[in-house]
Amino acid sequence: MGGREAWRLLVTWDGEPGWNMALDEALLERADPRPTLRFYTWRPAALSLGYFQRFAELERAAGAAPVVVRRSSGGGAIHHDEGELTFSLAAPASHPLFRGEVRRSYERVHGWLARAFAELGVVARLRGDDAVGSDRAGTGMCFHHSTALDLVWDGAKGVGSAQRRSGGRVLHHGSIKLDPGALEPGVARLRAHAPRLAPAELAALLARHAEHEWGCALARAEPAPEELAHAALRAAHFRSAEFLRRR
């Protein structure tokens, strides 16, 4: 019988916010034939706005964050500080991970996360028709606006996910809250169940579950030279005044 599908695993700690977004763009556009799973953190802390989000919605929050960038994916604003881990998945739209309706791909990705979180004692599920206590109007924050496909636990949203689809490929990235900060009160947090959970430990747990979930073999790698070059070139774009104020 066939072997496991080869996937690439990238881990980039403490990335500059614009660079983080630019490297995700490189993973979407540069078409390494292998699906790529990436884990990353942010330094300094930053606010990321959704692609169509109006900057004016967030001017107050933007003043509270050291750095502001805009994502190429949609949705609301996310505060990326030391209390979170960001993941991204990049593959062709025809790959079993992303094939079919957007809704189905979210069920797969969030199912993976939920089954991994269960090892930490977290009972996470898709929100469906339930109300959650993290929803609140008018903040512009992603974690304060839930949808049926969002992953919730302890009655609140704990993962903020979004996709960008371009050129027959999909980038799905998401913020997982270990401990949300002051800009995102009331959201779910993994450290309520695993108080000393560190981003690296969570990344290792998720990587192990990805191999089990999707029957893949993850090969730890560094970003390719052309991906690093793309990220270096495009980092400034994601934090530029022109892109931030496009809406």
Partner 1 sequence: MRPNDRKYTKTHEWVKPSGDDVLVGITDFAVQELCSGNEGDLVYCDLPEPGRSLEAGETFGEIESVKAVADLNAPVAGTVSEINVNVEEHLEVLSRDPWNAGWLVKITPRSRSLDAPELMDAAAYEAFITASKH
What residues line the site for partner 1 (CB under 8 A)?
51-52, 72-75, 94, 99-103, 106, 147, 149, 161-168
Strand order across the 151-153 sheet: 125-126, 151-153, 156-157
Identity of the residue, 191 or 234, whose beta carbon is nearer to partner 1 in the bound complex: 234
Identity of the residue, 50 or 83, whose beta carbon is nearer to partner 1 in the bound complex: 50
Residues identified as active-site: 142
Residue 25 CB, shortest distance to partner 1, in Å, is 12
Identity of the residue, 95 or 193, whose beta carbon is nearer to partner 1 in the bound complex: 95
Q: Please count the CA atoms within 13 angstroms of the CA of 136 that sit on its side-chain side.
A: 11
Report the alpha-carbon distance of residue 205 to residue 113 in Å, rounded. 10
Q: What distance lies between CA 13 and its chain's CA centroid?
A: 14
Residue 196 CB, shortest distance to partner 1, in Å, is 32
Across 23-62, b (16+ Cβ under 10 Å) vs e yields: bbbbbbbbebebbbbbbbbbbebbbbbbeebebebbeebb
Residue 121 CB, shortest distance to partner 1, in Å, is 28
